Amino acid sequence: MVSDSNVNSLPRHIAIIMDGNGRWARSRMLPRPVGHREGVKSVRRVVEACINKGVRALTLFAFSSENWRRPTDEVSLIMGLFVHTLKKEVGALDRNGVKLRFIGDRAAFPANLQTLINESEAQTRANTRLDLVIAANYGGQWDITRAFKSLAGRIQSGELHSEDITTDIIADEMSISDLPLPDLFIRTGGEQRISNFLLWQLAYTELYFTEVLWPAFDERQLDEALLWYANRQRRFGRTGDQVEQLKGA
């Protein structure tokens, strides 16, 4: 039994690896692209649910820096789906107060997709209801490498001294450093790995894995993950007793 004082409120920031589109399609004897298209519907459902529940930030892993290794036609299909979905959804996201942002190396994307990404970020920049972050051509190691490069540049220019580097200074160089760190990580599709997602930012995130394939993930599934999260005791290195005392104080 979990005592009331143990119950976490809603996560401020949820980060999701949306995995299992291909297997969802295959289990229905359908081609993989159908799974990706159904996966977009899950994105819509989860974004809406997060808005309604008052979650402040949602980061979705849509395409990893390793996903270029997939067959060319699957990669092209996913790029096409990004373009189609952005064109179709940005208006509604904007009206619903969603601030859209992409993390990852966008320079590798087709020019029309880069333009759409830039435009959608500009259009939704002033919104404050939900920060929706799409990780596309993203890798946690890429993020850390980028931070290293930036720090090296600052040292070279004399703005920063190597002795002055702190964890906070590194953290500020990472993607989405302006958002609260993810409280809850969800990976659908049954694998229990991070697959080069947010490596730095997940240091103290609660990790939730479910067998449910991404196209089958809906508000009920999200509620299950939220209930699981609510019953975790977040200790951040302290003892359980200390955490209880702090909550009671």
Task: State the catalytic residues.
Answer: 19, 67
Quick one: how far is CA 18 from the chain centroid?
Answer: 9
Q: Smallest gap, in angstroms, from Cβ of residue 175 to Mg ion?
A: 22
Candidates 51-59, 60-68, 89-97, 241-249; binding stretch for ligand IPE (CB under 6 A): 60-68
Site membership for ligand IPE, residue 62 (CB under 6 A): yes
156-195: which residues touch ligand IPE (CB under 6 A)?
A: 189, 191, 193, 195
- Angle of CA points 97, 229, 200, to nearest 5°: 75
Q: Smallest gap, in angstroms, from Cβ of residue 199 to ligand IPE?
A: 13
Q: Smallest gap, in angstroms, from Cβ of residue 233 to ligand IPE?
A: 29
Distance from C-alpha of 57 to C-alpha of 179, rounded to nearest angstrom: 7
Size of the site for ligand IPE (CB under 6 A): 18
For residue 113, which of 174, 62, 147 has the smallest C-alpha distance?
62
Residues in the chain: 249
Q: Of 9 and 192, which CB lies nearer to ligand IPE in the complex structure?
A: 192
Tell me which of 11, 13, 19, 208 binds Mg ion, using CB under 5 A: 19
27-46: which residues touch ligand IPE (CB under 6 A)?
A: none
Distance from C-alpha of 109 to C-alpha of 21, rounded to nearest angstrom: 21
Contact by Cβ (8 Å): 58, 71: no
Distance from C-alpha of 201 to C-alpha of 191, rounded to nearest angstrom: 20
H or E element in which residue 186 lies = strand 184-187
46-85: which residues touch Mg ion (CB under 5 A)?
A: none
Distance from C-alpha of 57 to C-alpha of 143, rounded to nearest angstrom: 19
Q: Smallest gap, in angstroms, from Cβ of residue 178 to ligand IPE?
A: 23
Cα first-last separation, the chain = 22
201-220: which residues touch ligand IPE (CB under 6 A)?
A: none
Contact by Cβ (8 Å): 133, 62: no
Site membership for ligand IPE, residue 18 (CB under 6 A): yes
8 binds, among ligand IPE, Mg ion, none (CB under 5 to 8 A by kind): none
For the window 68-107, what string marks contact with ligand IPE as x by the rule CB under 6 A? ----------x-----------------------------
For residue 195, which of 105, 79, 61 has the smallest C-alpha distance?
61
Site membership for Mg ion, residue 206 (CB under 5 A): no
For residue 106, which of 94, 118, 89, 96 has the smallest C-alpha distance?
118
* Chain contacts with ligand IPE (rule: CB under 6 A): 17-23, 61-64, 66-67, 78, 189, 191, 193, 195
